C-alpha cells in the first residue's frame, strides 16, 4: 500500500495539469468554429 502512495507522490501533477489545460485551450478554438458552423454563423 505504501508503494502506491509513493508512486502517486512522485508524479509531477503540475506538469500533467499544465498539459491538460493546454490541450483544452487548443481544442476550444476548433470547438468554437464548429459551433459557429453548426449554427450557420449565428452566435
Residue 7 confidence (pLDDT)? 75
- CB–CB of 43/36 below 8 Å? yes
17-35 pLDDT tens trace:
999 999 999 999 999 999 8
CB 31 within 8 A of CB 39: no
**Cell numbers found for residue 10:** 512522485
* Of residues 2 and 27, more confidently modeled: 27
Is the pLDDT at 13 greater than 80? The verdict is: yes
Report whether pLDDT(42) > 80.
no
Percent of the chain with pLDDT over 90: 44
To 5 degrees, how large is the angle CA 16–CA 19–CA 23?
Answer: 135
Amino acid at each position: 500500500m505504501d508503494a502506491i502512495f509513493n508512486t502517486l507522490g512522485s508524479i509531477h501533477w503540475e506538469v500533467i495539469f499544465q498539459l491538460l489545460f493546454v490541450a483544452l485551450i487548443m481544442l476550444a478554438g476548433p470547438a468554437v468554429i464548429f459551433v459557429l458552423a453548426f449554427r450557420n454563423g449565428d452566435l
